[in-house]
Amino acid sequence: MKSLIASFIIILLLAACSTDDEQNNSNVRLELEGNDYNTVLLQKNEENQSSSDMTEQFNDEGTIDNIISIINEENIKLNSIDEIDSIEDKMELETYYSFGFSENDAANSSSIFTFTIFEDGTVISSSPNTDDSHYSFISEDLQTNLLDRLENIINK
């Protein structure tokens, strides 16, 4: 009887660990809470190369609010990045746009949320609403319209 109870407890513990793992790796939604950001730095990268003429900074509250609204409206579901090497390879070969959201001047701030979209619609980001700027999440699905929607706001 004791071995049956012990087996049952082990099965419950394994099931609980499995559920926690699934929650950590999926069902994270890219949503920026509130609007404490007053600077957005946009950097275009082609085959992992960029320059100052491919960088733009936005401080206009309306533009920043519109960018955040578009990102939140897309309902982007994220998974933890398991293979950072594959992301680094993608960054070396493809064109992408990085957005750095900051509460201060982006160049001098340690509290930056980073969000990157590739031309194919792949999204990678740091943890939403934290000060961790390392890429830790990748979109579950391609966001094929997101870049067009963001370009419409940025190019006004």
Q: State the Cα–Cα distance between residues 116 and 81, nearest whole angstrom.
A: 14
| pLDDT level of residue 29 (50, 70, 90 thresholds) | confident
What are the boundaries of each domain within the chain? Answer: 2-154
What is the tens place of the pLDDT at every residue in 79-134?
Answer: 988 777 788 888 889 999 999 888 876 555 556 788 899 999 999 988 766 666 67
Burial letters for 126-138: b for 16+ Cβ neighbours within 10 Å, e otherwise?
A: bbbeeeebebbbb
State pTM to two decimals: 0.75
Q: What distances in angstroms separate CA 101 from CA 68, 118, 130, one per listed residue? A: 10, 17, 11
Q: 84 or 10: whose pLDDT is higher?
A: 84
What is the tens place of the pLDDT at every residue in 49-59?
Answer: 888 889 999 99
